[in-house]
């Protein structure tokens, strides 16, 4: 019995050995995504496609992939995939909602802290050998504890950022289509 063929459009930070037991897997190893023309040639004869948000999966590509049985997206969204074209050919499309919620909230919080406490500026100041001694007003930055945090959009990521802000006794204001009720 022939194994199904799977093409993965980027080298992923995971072990593919389980997938390789069941499928012939080809992985695009370049750091940049495959050019559209390359992707068109790679999808001929594959059964499964694991793509990223940087890959254009349009009607032409779906029509070119005559054996395609599934499209999986390693991203929350799927705006780069012509879902209508896939649906017309009865090809299911999967994505990974929520997979980056905590990582994005953590990065947001890291940037907030770095900005408020002037971390990048202090690092440059120190590396330039300008620091000589403690000074009462040198690179103080802004207090975060008790401050007000405004969040535009209060979906999964916005709420994850707000949860982190609770530990700093911050007042949270947000914009959202729906009011969030605290439980």
Of 21, 4, 17, give the one whose Cα is nearest residue 68: 4
Which are the contacts of 20, defined by CB distance < 8 A and separation ≥ 6?
Answer: none
Q: Are 66 and 87 in contact (CB under 8 A)?
A: no
**Pairing mode of beta strands 24-27, 148-152:** unpaired
Structure confidence by residue, pLDDT tens digits, 93-103: 999 998 889 99
- Does domain 101-175 fall under CATH 2.40.50.140? My reply is no
**Pairing mode of beta strands 70-73, 48-51:** parallel
Structure confidence by residue, pLDDT tens digits, 82-126: 999 999 999 999 999 988 899 999 999 999 999 999 999 999 999
pLDDT value, residue 176: 87
Residue 41 has pLDDT above 50, yes or no: yes
Q: How does 24-59 read in b/e, with b if 16+ C-beta sit within 10 Å?
A: ebeebeeeebbeeeebbebbeebbbbbbebebbbee
Domains 5-94 and 101-175 share a fold: yes
Which CATH number is associated with domain 5-94? 3.40.50.720
Structure confidence by residue, pLDDT tens digits, 126-177: 999 999 999 999 999 999 999 999 999 999 999 999 999 999 999 999 998 8
Which DSSP string corresponds to the chain?
Answer: -PPPEEEESS--SS--HHHHHHSEEEE--SSSPPPHHHHHHHTTT-SEEEE-TTS-B-HHHHHH-TT--EEEESSS--TTB-HHHHHHTT--EE--TTTTHHHHHHHHHHHHHHHHTTHHHHHHHHHTT---S--TTTT-----TT-EEEEE--SHHHHHHHHHHHTTT-EEEEE-SSPPPP-
Phi-psi group of 135: left, alpha or beta (phi > 0 → left; psi -120 to 50 → alpha; rest → beta): beta
Domain boundaries of the chain, sorted by first residue: 5-94, 101-175
Q: What is the pTM of this model?
A: 0.75
Residue 18 has pLDDT above 90, yes or no: yes
């Amino acid at each position: 019995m022939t194994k199904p063929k799977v093409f993965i459009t980027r080298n992923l930070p995971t072990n593919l050995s389980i997938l390789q037991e069941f499928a012939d897997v080809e992985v695009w190893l370049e750091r940049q995504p495959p050019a559209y023309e390359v992707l068109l040639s790679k999808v001929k004869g594959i059964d499964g496609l694991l793509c990223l948000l940087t890959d254009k999966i349009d009607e032409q590509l779906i029509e070119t992939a005559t054996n395609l049985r599934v499209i999986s997206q390693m991203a929350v969204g799927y705006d780069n995939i012509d879902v209508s074209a896939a649906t017309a050919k009865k090809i299911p499309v999967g994505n990974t909602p929520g997979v980056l919620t905590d990582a994005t909230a953590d990065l947001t919080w890291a940037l907030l802290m770095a900005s408020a406490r002037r971390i990048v500026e202090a690092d440059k100041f120190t590396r330039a050998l300008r620091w000589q001694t403690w000074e009462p007003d040198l690179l103080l930055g802004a207090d975060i504890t008790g401050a007000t945090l405004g969040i535009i959009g209060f979906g999964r990521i916005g709420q994850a950022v707000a949860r982190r802000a609770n530990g700093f006794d911050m007042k949270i204001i947000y914009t959202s289509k729906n009011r969030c009720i605290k439980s």
